[in-house]
């Protein structure tokens, strides 16, 4: 990991590990409930102190509920008429069960070449890199080519309801003049073996996200005594619909981002991917753990996750409910809903509890060139490739304002590290060298954005 184009230990590189470690020590667990989510305000206040002590003017905004703290800071660039670049990261993390971990999940321990703790890869790593570079630019009087807005956000782990989505709806002024954005989940390396025995590091830039929909299904029928003959049973009707939906395979759809990713991997590795093959998932498995994400971007999915019905063993209830987690490929929403309706049948009604649209942009233009240049400057054996994320990020909210969003939080990773398993996983950690590499790349990128 020393194949870097630059040897200066910049102030940002020098402090990034410390910043990430301190960020992790703020327990910003997001439970999805307002009453129990904590720590965001304290963490945001600490971020404000780090920015203000080097001269930034900051704006603190609570997104619709007390304590849901967001921080905005703007660095003026050489040409403000070009439209600003939003660099965003979320301060909240998913909860962690301490007894499962080898270190305390909120210790921020720096050990064995890693920074450990909840948020190490999702996404206090990027938050620390952003903060380190923002501070360095201000201290050194660096003027980036265009305005850069640094945003530190609440509630990403709950779909941004009390974070990005709220801000976009209630404070669009905060995003005025912003044309493009970078944040999670992308920029990390995937090492692929080449036919000649060498290796190539692909840096996956997120250019698309599947849509996210949490759907409630409800069957209503006739209540009755459990001992009688009774054909019209809500539990039976609902469970048949849930089973049909949960075992259904939606059609294969190869969107542009996925096609470009597969072509690049095939070119580098010599592996063949035939999206028309019934065994495309098997072919993808050769890519290792990343196939969990890539495979999930080839079709819509509808996974039943919750069931509720009844209150007594001998009472047939009038209603039965289920919740289904739906993830929809860009361009498929209407077709997906038609398919769902056919599967659940006329006796089951459905409604969206949460619905966030998919998103896709093209992998081209000046900003993409700047990402590629930054990677190549610090890893000549690297190559940037677009990919689609099966999940969702704050980008979904910003895209609603017409902002072009990318996942670019650069990290050069050891080939053997199962990076995807660390997201929301036990013993979440990030290599110190990856953080230092990422900081150099992000600095290079922001100097040429
Ligand atoms: Zn995240």
pLDDT in tens, the chain (449 residues): 444 445 668 999 999 999 999 999 999 999 999 888 889 999 999 999 999 999 999 999 999 999 999 999 999 999 999 999 999 999 999 999 999 999 999 999 999 999 999 999 999 999 999 999 999 999 999 999 999 999 999 999 999 999 999 999 999 999 999 999 999 999 999 998 888 988 899 999 999 999 999 999 999 999 999 999 888 999 999 999 999 999 999 999 999 999 999 999 999 988 888 877 878 888 888 888 888 888 899 999 999 999 999 999 999 999 999 999 999 999 999 999 999 999 999 999 999 999 999 999 999 999 999 999 999 999 999 999 999 999 999 999 999 999 999 999 999 999 999 888 898 999 999 999 999 999 999 999 999 99
CA of 184 from ligand 1 middle (Å) equals 6
CA of 159 from ligand 1 middle (Å) equals 10
CA of 349 from ligand 1 middle (Å) equals 32
Q: Pick from 443, 447, 441, 436: which is nearest to 20 by CA?
A: 436
Burial class (CB in 10 A: 0-12, 13-18, 19+), 422: middle
Strands annotated E in 281-341: 301-309, 315-316, 319-328
CA of 196 from ligand 1 middle (Å) equals 36
Strand 188-193 and strand 199-209: pairing?
Answer: antiparallel
CA of 204 from ligand 1 middle (Å) equals 16
> b/e string for 194-214 if b means 16 or more Cβ within 10 A?
eeeeeebbbbbbbbbbbbbbb
CA of 393 from ligand 1 middle (Å) equals 6
Tell me how far apart the alpha carbons of residues 106 and 204 are, in angstroms, rounded to a whole number: 28
CA 341 to chain centre: 29
Whether 428 and 93 have beta carbons less than 8 Å apart is answered as no
Cis peptide before 185 (omega within 30 of 0): yes
Q: What's the token pair of residue 356?
A: 């966030």
CA of 271 from ligand 1 middle (Å) equals 31
Strand 199-209 and strand 382-389: pairing?
Answer: parallel
pLDDT in the model for residue 3: 45
Whether 368 and 85 have beta carbons less than 8 Å apart is answered as no
User: Residues 197, 201, 207, 208: is their CA dihedral positive or negative?
Assistant: positive
CA of 168 from ligand 1 middle (Å) equals 18
Tell me how far apart the alpha carbons of residues 47 and 131 are, in angstroms, rounded to a whole number: 8
pLDDT in the model for residue 2: 43
Whether 54 and 85 have beta carbons less than 8 Å apart is answered as no
CA of 137 from ligand 1 middle (Å) equals 25
CA of 93 from ligand 1 middle (Å) equals 7
CB atoms within 10 A of CB 300: 25
pTM, whole model, 2 decimals? 0.92
Q: What's the token pair of residue 44?
A: 């945001």
Q: Which residue has the tokens 């990005």?
A: 164
CA of 122 from ligand 1 middle (Å) equals 4
Q: Pick from 431, 443, 367: which is nearest to 404 by CA?
A: 367
Q: Pick from 25, 65, 64, 23: which is nearest to 44 by CA?
A: 23
Whether 165 and 171 have beta carbons less than 8 Å apart is answered as no
CA of 124 from ligand 1 middle (Å) equals 9
Enumerate long-range contacts of 6-13, CB under 8 Å, 24 or more apart. 6/377, 6/378, 6/440, 6/444, 10/136, 10/439, 10/440, 10/443, 11/132, 11/135, 11/136, 11/139, 11/140, 12/129, 12/132, 12/133, 12/135, 12/136, 12/439, 12/443, 13/132, 13/436, 13/439, 13/440
Q: State the virtual CA torsion across 23, 119, 131, 3 in degrees, nearest 10.
A: 120
The end-to-end CA distance of the chain, in Å, is: 25
Q: What's the token pair of residue 219?
A: 């069957």
pLDDT in the model for residue 289: 82
CA of 209 from ligand 1 middle (Å) equals 13
Q: Pick from 159, 135, 149, 157: which is nearest to 91 by CA?
A: 157
CA of 123 from ligand 1 middle (Å) equals 5
CA of 81 from ligand 1 middle (Å) equals 31
């Amino acid at each position: 990991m020393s194949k870097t184009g630059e040897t200066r230990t910049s102030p940002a590189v020098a402090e990034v590990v410390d910043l990430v470690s301190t960020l992790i020590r703020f327990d910003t667990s997001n439970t999805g409930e307002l009453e129990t989510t904590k720590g965001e305000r304290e963490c945001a206040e600490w971020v404000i102190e780090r920015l203000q002590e080097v001269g930034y003017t900051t704006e603190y905004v609570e997104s619709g509920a007390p304590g849901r703290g967001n921080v905005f800071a703007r660095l003026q660039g050489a040409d403000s008429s070009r439209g600003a670049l939003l660099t965003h990261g979320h301060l909240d993390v998913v909860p962690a069960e301490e007894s499962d971990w080898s270190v305390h999940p909120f210790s921020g321990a720096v050990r064995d070449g890693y920074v450990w703790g909840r948020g190490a890869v999702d996404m206090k790593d990027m938050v620390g890199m952003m903060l380190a570079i923002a501070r360095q630019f201000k201290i050194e009087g660096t003027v980036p080519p265009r305005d850069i807005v640094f945003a530190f956000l609440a509630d990403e782990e709950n779909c941004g309801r009390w974070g990005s989505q709220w801000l976009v709806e209630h404070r669009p002024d905060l995003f005025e003049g912003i044309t493009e954005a970078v944040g999670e989940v992308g920029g990390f390396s995937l090492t692929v073996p080449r036919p000649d025995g060498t290796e190539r590091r692909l840096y996956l830039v997120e250019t698309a996200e599947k849509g996210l929909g949490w759907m409630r299904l409800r069957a209503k029928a006739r209540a009755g005594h459990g001992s009688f003959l009774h054909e019209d049973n809500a539990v039976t009707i609902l469970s048949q619909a849930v089973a049909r939906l949960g075992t259904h395979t939606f059609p294969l759809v190869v969107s542009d981002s996925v096609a470009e990713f597969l072509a690049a991997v095939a070119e580098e590795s010599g592996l063949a991917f035939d999206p028309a093959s019934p065994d495309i998932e098997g072919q993808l498995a050769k890519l290792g753990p990343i196939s969990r994400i890539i495979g999930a971007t080839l079709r819509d999915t509808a996974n039943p996750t919750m069931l509720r019905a009844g209150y007594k063993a001998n009472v047939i209830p009038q209603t039965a409910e289920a919740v289904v987690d739906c993830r929809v490929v860009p361009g498929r929403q209407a077709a997906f809903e038609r398919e769902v309706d056919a599967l659940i049948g006329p006796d089951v009604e459905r409604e969206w509890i949460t619905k966030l649209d998919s998103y896709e942009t093209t992998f081209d233009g000046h900003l993409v060139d700047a990402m590629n240049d930054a990677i190549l400057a610090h890893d000549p054996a690297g190559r940037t490739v677009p990919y689609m994320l099966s999940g969702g990020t704050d980008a979904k909210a910003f895209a609603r304002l017409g902002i072009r969003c990318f996942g670019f939080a650069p990290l050069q990773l050891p080939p053997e590290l199962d990076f995807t398993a660390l997201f929301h996983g036990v013993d979440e950690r990030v290599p110190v060298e990856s953080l230092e590499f990422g900081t150099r790349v992000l600095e290079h990128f922001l100097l040429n954005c």
